[in-house]
Structure 1
């Protein structure tokens, strides 16, 4: 897959020759609804013998429109993660457009002329609620007016699961509430985060459960407080782990939230190393125990529950995404 970073105004020499089918969206999370958009575009590209291209943004539009701090906007997927997932979906060209004030101020006609037509799009595919400016004038219903018959338009209807729309907003809410199982169903794959192993209080070592304290960056959305079955990528090896997102309330009140992971059957020093965490299942909430002995007993049960989960749900590193037949089987409104 070719990744092309764009900044407005686009330099024509950056755009490969030849017609494309262009899928549009921010695609935060590349969830099951997004997968349907890309799968629809892929089918059109194959039918038209054209390349499949996707255009996304490098940062959320709220950074421009709501003056959000770009260093603290929490995403479901980084650009790097989004790139990996798009490659799995069979995308040929991924355009990553820098979303700044200039892009945010573009009139809808200019957006269409310079960021759709000038990319050689012969077909445009997007979700029913995609906008490219103010929603009242830059929506999918108006796209044909601005397109002036220069490209075909495929509008992908709403995808639902459990009679509710699949959306990045819904997934963020599920994650914040610790509902990783729900989030994973909506995503169509198991959620991932990445961080650096840093020094913690080393209390787990004294309890017989030494943990890796994983520090995540401010742009990462970590699942809510709870105890989780996870797989952790250390170098090239995936290691089973039980993760605690919480405040260690057994040892005091008003403590900061940390992510501590006990890696099963793994004993190497991880300090300073970057790891990837794949969040499989929430086992329980955080509990304040009467003392260390009670906590250790629970940790032993958590370890067994982690092993049981991965025995019943064998881990596969890749591919992460649903196949297209599963995407197509989602409920539609």
Structure 2
């Protein structure tokens, strides 16, 4: 997949001369709604025997418009992961635009003239609620007016799950609540994050449940407080286990959130390993136990449930 990184104003010499069907969007998470846009664009590209291209951005547009919150600094798909996902979906070319104040200040007509036409677009494809400027004027309904017959416009309708729109906002809300099963359903795949195994308090090994403590990037969304079934990728191998996101408040109050995984039947030294986490299923919320004995009793039940979960997955 060809990646063309663009800083406004566009240098036309960066752009190959061949025509493309262009899918547009920020595509954070590349959820089922985004996938519908890409699939439609891919079908149109194949019909016209041209390349499939995607126009997307290197960071949240919110950075340009308002003061950041903590949520604005997190992504369901950081740029590298998003590019890998697009590559796996068969995208030929990505126009990765640095979203700046100058870029955002363009009128809708200027954006179309300076970018969509310059990309040699034959069909522009996006979701029904996609905007490319001010929401009241830069709509998909108005895009044919700005296109002026130079390219076609295809709008992909709303994709729903349980009568509600599939959206990155809905997924982020479910993520905060720890509803990873809903997150995975809306994404259409198992959510993943990355991290590095670091030293923790080593308390788990004293109670018979040693854990890999994982330092996670600040820009990636994590599921909310709870205990989950998950897999940990070390090198090329995936290891199943149970993952805790929580404060370990059985051992004290006002503790920081940690991400710890007890791997099933694993022996070895993981310190310093870069890892990938695949989040499967929520087992339960966090509980403050009266002491270590109660915690161990619950962890044994969690282990039984985790083994049963992965046995069922293997049988499917």
Query: If the length of structure 2 is used for normalisation, what is the TM-score?
Result: 0.97
Task: Name the residue aligned to 1:293.
Answer: 293
Partner of 1:78 in structure 2? 78
State how far apart, in whole Å, the 2-side matches of 1:54 and 1:314 are: 35
Partner of residue 93, structure 1: 93
Provide the rounded CA distance (Å) in 2 between the counterparts of 1:70 and 1:133: 24
Give the match for residue 262 of structure 2: 262
Which residue does the alignment assign to 1:158?
158
**Contact 2:60 2:72 (C-alpha < 8 Å) held by counterparts:** no
Q: Distance in 2 between matches of 1:300 and 1:251?
A: 18
Shift of 1:101: 1.1
* Contact 1:65-1:104 within 8 A present in 2 as well: no
Kindly indicate whether the alpha-carbon contact (under 8 Å) linking 1:23 and 1:125 is maintained by their aligned counterparts in 2. Answer: yes
Inter-partner Cα distance in structure 1 for 2:56 and 2:207:
47
1:314 Cα deviation from its structure 2 partner: 3.0
Structure 1 residues 9-29: Cα deviation after superposition (integer angstroms, max 9, x where no partner): 122222122110000000000
Equivalent residues in 2 for 1:1-333, closer than 5 Å: 1-68=1-68, 73-314=73-314
1:149 offset after TM fit, Å?
0.6
- Tell me, in whole angstroms, the C-alpha distance in 1 between the residues paired with 2:16 and 2:302: 52
- Aligned partners of 1:84, 1:291: CA distance in 2, in Å? 44
Give the Å deviation of 1:221: 0.9
In 2: Cα distance, 1:101 partner to 1:270 partner: 43
Query: SS of 2:68's equivalent?
Result: coil
The C-alpha deviation readout for 1:164-216, integer Å capped at 9, x for no partner, is 00000000000000000001000000111101112111101111111111111
**Regions of 4+ moved over 4 Å:** 69-72
Q: Matched residue pairs, number?
A: 316
Write out per-residue CA displacement over residues 46-69 of structure 1, whole angstroms, 9 at most, x where no aligned residue. Answer: 000010001110000000111327
Q: Distance in 2 between matches of 1:72 and 1:200?
A: 28
Tell me if the contact between 1:59 and 1:70 (Cα under 8 Å) persists in the aligned partners.
Answer: no
State how far apart, in whole Å, the 1-side matches of 2:144 and 2:72 are. 36
Contact 2:242–2:263 under 8 Å retained in 1: yes
**TM-score, normalised via structure 1 length:** 0.92
> Is the 1:233–1:277 contact (alpha carbons within 8 Å) kept by the matching residues of 2?
yes
What's 1:319 paired with?
none
Q: Which runs of 5+ in 2 are unaligned?
A: none
Cα root mean square deviation, aligned: 1.5
Aligned 8 A contact 1:54 1:93 in 2: yes
Secondary structure of the 2:189 match is: coil
Aligned-partner SS, 1:301: helix
